[in-house]
Chain A
Amino acid sequence: MQEAMKIYFELNGEQRYVEIEPGESLLSLLRRLGMKSVKSGCETGDCGACTVLLNGRAVRSCTTFAAQVRGKRVTTLEGLGDVDDPHPLQEAFVEAGAVQCGFCTPGMILVAYELLSKNGAPTPQEVRAAISGNLCRCTGYVKIVDAVLLAAQWKREGKWR
């Protein structure tokens, strides 16, 4: 029996010290810790539903080992906001009609968050490129692009906290 390994990492602003299984994916760890926004859609890194931010950069948690986040900062959608205090991006997705089934939404919002942290005034094509690794089968992406552009506009207008 392999000995269990424990790691420190920061999850949504809180220090965590947790046991991980040998070979465990970050997706599995995060869902085990209650971060149910992290969705499993393919486990091969192709759909983007399991996207989280690792030190601010979007990664696929299904193809990232839990051990790789040792000492790092992980942000899941829960870390952005909740229904009583949503992040403007979350508001924008609802406002624009970008949420249909909602399964791809957590990953979409996180890649949009990364984009807008680097580029406050993206063009529609830049938004499409940024979200192109995240699949959605419901919306045809039209309203997701609208939502990201709306959130960017709110950010430029100083409406982000």
Chain B
Amino acid sequence: MALEGKVVGRNVRKVDGLALACGRPKFTLDLDLPGALVGKILRSPYAHARILRIDTSRAEAVPGVACILHHGNVDRVPYTTAGQGWPEPSPYDNFLFDRKVRFVGDRVAAVAAETEEAAREALRLIEVDYEVLPAVLSPEEALAAGAPAIHDEDDAEGIYDAQHNIAAAVDIPVGDIERGFAESDVIVEASCEIPYSQHVALEPHCVIAYFDEDGRLVLRTSTQVPFHVRRIVARVVGLPMEKIRVVKPRIGGGFGSKQEVILEPVAAALALRAGRPVVMALDRAEVFTATRTRHPMRVRVKLGAKKDGTLHAIEMEALSNTGAYGAHSLTVLSNTGSKTLPLYNKAPHLWFHGKAVYTNLPVAGAYRGYGATQGYFALEVAMDMLAERLGMDPIELRLVNHIRAGETSPIFEKIGEGREGKPQTVKSCALEECLRVGAEKIGWREKRARRRREGSWAYGVGMSVSMQGSGITGIDMAAATIMMNENGSFRLLVGATDIGTGSDTVLAQIAAEVLGVPVERISVYSSDTDFTPFDTGAYASSTTYVSGMAVLRAARKVREAILEVAAGMLAEPPEDLELAEERVTSKKTGKSVTLSEVGHRATYVVDQRHIIASASFVPEESPPPFAAFFCEVAVDTETGVVRVERFVAAADCGVAIHPKLAAGQLEGAIVQGIGHALSEELLFSEKGRCTNANLFDYRIPSALDVPALEVVLVDSEEPSGPLGAKSIAEVGINGPLPAISNAIYHAVGVRLTRAPFTPARVLAALRG
């Protein structure tokens, strides 16, 4: 380990682990609120329709119905659900309720009633006349001449070309791509496609809206972005921000789906209209169809290389389906290029271009990997093809081309978060070592050299690499407050939003390391817009790096204040003192005082003050974590069944503050990626209705579907990060799709380029 910490780098107990393992009522819906109404949503049965008439009179007559909201009785405010920083890079193409519905499951109205039964009965009795419009069910249809415009409203803002259903577009040339290909000795091209897939956080989206004793609106919600929720709800329901408090309790997983501010404005509007608390919880079918999904995308990658394998030109073209609304349409699309192309920084000629288009299908949004997952599938399959064409080992081809510490890529500056980025030099990169360790563990050389076959089963190995980022350069901001209690313990208040990742623990470790105490002496509180400082939230692999730096800075200020008080007690200058093991000790005399003595003196005795400090951090760069993935698959050539037998990943996340939690992030991400590769796909009828919106028909991996999985954290130290750390949450999900596709190719000689690799698709490929 690069940093031999007392606390950092150790597997301390997860600070909320035991309470969660004991089932303590820590989640949003675990709070019983007497007198709360139940909120339910009426959803569109049509993929595309105009609401001609809505009559709620019969529904309102149902006993127990408190209020019904629809486009006719709420303010019309264009906004985006994306839950990003401000100014928001996603188009303002959403309304609380609209005169038009744009996918099966779109909101038509909402009811608050005394009981769930009354709410359901009211939903049944709302009369709606629709003018059904032709539906657009694929990106190709959306772009076709004469296609119906999905966003024909005149008050949406920020849509790239609404008339042609283009939510966002990018066109980033570097160098001269035509010359690049002309000068290349070898050219390969791959086109890969990812369908609709869903996050499937185990806890469905839910929120409780209520009023505190002063009449302020409180939203207790399952969110990744409490501060963005406050800002967006304030705007949509027309309340001043200071009248809203957003509380984030424990969250049952997010993976991006809870970055979206979907339910909160509805619950807030219902509670305000009824003047009563409202509880809303989506069912699993609603989570699948009416929250958010990964952006389905087709990515075409064309690589030009010299005979020695050096990449000379890379073209990447992406066609992204953002569904009915444009949440994250531009930024996910941008990320498809910005998180992939810098990895191979040797090519002087690049062209990244693409479009995100509207369809009358569920809304895509943020999902772990965030476009990079889509990009790496095509890029890493293309690299496998290139290795074959060149007669090179795939690992060797990566070694020739991947970015190293001290190097840069023009892409860092060209593509940012929906605008230009910032130049960046990579300061830590242990990808070479990741490749070496991973290859050794999987037995790459032997298994690659001879293909095994047993009966109808063919075996093969494949690999891929990926990088991601750590937060959003120049945009994310995190703040932390640390206050000392007089007994020498501390309270750490962070806006950083632990959604199950363990970030409360990681942040406590950083504070504990600086303050010379065990983690148990720090109680962490996250996050509450009334009581914790600002943080943009848990997304873009930002928490350890961005929030961690804020905590590090706050802890250093508190340490200074402690040393100052102790200096008075020991009659020595602060620079001669050190803080460790809950004591301040003189390096000269060896005399010491305990933190409790320091705390009591500062609080009650002399020159009294609360030892407390806040600090903020804005990242000037987004250091990429790197990972290498290797897998062994078995393909049944008779049935087309693919089994992943073994999966090895080696990752560089800088100093792992908590190695077990970091490994857990990697393992979880890889298994999600295996799900994407083998089984996960939302299916739709010809009218745009999702036909498998349940956990029986939409298969996520169970414990029996998981291969022997081995993850290795390879040491590096990121100089710009908190105690050497960078991110780990997302990078793992990019690996499985291309690694498994490449392994299938090694096993049976066919390229699977459309996920998931179902038996039917594998058989079809085998039969040509």
Contact = CB atoms under 8 A, between A and B. Distances in A.
Q: Do A and B bind each other?
A: yes
B679 interface: no
A132 B13 CA distance: 26
B203 A140 contact: no
A137 B18 CA distance: 19
B667 A140 contact: yes
Contacts of A34: 32
B449 interface: no
Contacts of A140: 664, 667-672, 701, 706, 709
B592 interface: no
A101 B23 contact: no
Contacts of B255: 137
A108 to B, nearest CB: 9
Contacts of A37: 22-25
Contact of B23 (A76, A95, A137): A76
Contacts of A93: 17, 21
B166 to A, nearest CB: 33
A69 B363 CA distance: 41
Contact of A43 (B14, B284, B660, B709): B284
**Chain B interface extent, by class:** 35 or more
Contacts of A105: 20-21, 23
A3 to B, nearest CB: 17
B280 interface: no
Contacts of B18: 83, 86, 90-91, 94
Contacts of A102: 16-17, 20-21, 26, 250, 252, 500
Greatest chain A CB density within 10 A among B253, B281, B501, B703 is at B703
A139 B703 CA distance: 10
Interface stretch (B99-107, B375-383, B692-700): B692-700
Contacts of B694: 42, 44, 46
A92 to B, nearest CB: 9
Interface string B13-44: 11011111111111101101000000000000
Nearest to B502: A100
A105 B255 CA distance: 18
A39 B702 contact: no
Contact of A137 (B14, B202, B284, B709): B202
A95 B199 CA distance: 27
Contacts of B435: none
Given A39-B202, A93-B21, A44 B695 contact: yes
B500 A138 contact: yes
A46 B696 contact: yes
B22 A133 contact: no
Contacts of B19: 83
B706 A141 contact: yes
B150 interface: no
B14 A135 contact: no
A4 B109 CA distance: 33
B283 interface: yes
B469 interface: no
Chain A binding surface SS class: loop
A138 B203 contact: no
B704 interface: yes
B117 to A, nearest CB: 10
A128 B704 contact: yes
Nearest to B23: A37
A81 B703 CA distance: 25
Interface string B499-532: 1111000000000000000000000000000000
A99 interface: yes
A138 B23 contact: no
A33 to B, nearest CB: 11
A71 interface: no
Nearest to B732: A140
Contact of B30 (A36, A49, A101, A128): A36
A143 B203 contact: no
Contacts of A132: 702-704
A157 B90 CA distance: 57
B200 A137 contact: yes
A142 B710 CA distance: 9
B271 interface: no
Contacts of B202: 39, 41, 47, 49, 101, 103-104, 135-138
A53 to B, nearest CB: 13
Contacts of A39: 27, 202-203, 252
B643 to A, nearest CB: 14
A14 interface: no
A125 to B, nearest CB: 9
A120 interface: no
Interface in A78-96: 78, 80-83, 86, 90-91, 93-95
A82 B22 contact: yes
B401 interface: no
Nearest to A90: B21
Interface in A121-151: 127-129, 131-145
A44 B20 CA distance: 24
A67 interface: no
Contacts of A90: 18, 21-22
B251 interface: yes
Greatest chain B CB density within 10 A among A100, A106, A109 is at A100
A103 B203 contact: yes
Given A97-B11, A101-B499, A143-B667, A78 B706 contact: no
B11 A137 contact: no
A20 to B, nearest CB: 15
B561 interface: no
Contacts of B32: 34
B661 interface: yes
Contact of B671 (A47, A77, A133, A141): A141
B22 A41 contact: no
A144 B671 CA distance: 14
B500 A44 contact: no
Nearest to B697: A46
B201 interface: yes
Given A46-B694, A77-B22, A142-B709, A99 B17 contact: yes
B252 A42 contact: no
Given A99-B14, A101-B202, A94 B667 contact: no
A86 B18 CA distance: 8
Greatest chain B CB density within 10 A among A38, A91, A109, A138 is at A138
A97 B21 CA distance: 11
B702 A135 contact: yes
A107 to B, nearest CB: 9
Nearest to A95: B13
A40 B255 CA distance: 19
Contacts of A109: 21
Interface string B422-452: 0000000000000000000000000000000
Contact of B660 (A138, A141, A143): A143
Contacts of B703: 127-129, 131-132, 134, 136, 141, 144-145
Given A78-B23, A82-B22, A140-B671, A101 B253 contact: yes
A97 B661 contact: yes
Contacts of B27: 36, 39, 103
Enumerate the 9 nearest inter-chain pairs by beta-carbon distance, A residue then B residue, closest first.
Answer: A37-B23, A101-B500, A102-B20, A103-B252, A140-B671, A46-B695, A140-B667, A77-B23, A36-B25
7 contacts: A36-B25, A36-B30, A41-B203, A46-B696, A49-B202, A99-B14, A136-B703
Interface of A: 34-44, 46-47, 49, 76-78, 80-83, 86, 90-91, 93-95, 97, 99-106, 109, 127-129, 131-145
Interface of B: 11, 13-14, 16-27, 29-30, 32, 199-204, 250-253, 255, 281, 283-284, 499-502, 660-661, 663-664, 667-672, 694-696, 700-704, 706, 709
Given A42-B695, A103-B202, 18 more contacts: A35-B23, A38-B23, A42-B284, A44-B284, A46-B696, A81-B22, A90-B21, A101-B20, A101-B500, A102-B250, A105-B20, A132-B704, A137-B200, A137-B202, A137-B253, A137-B700, A141-B671, A141-B701
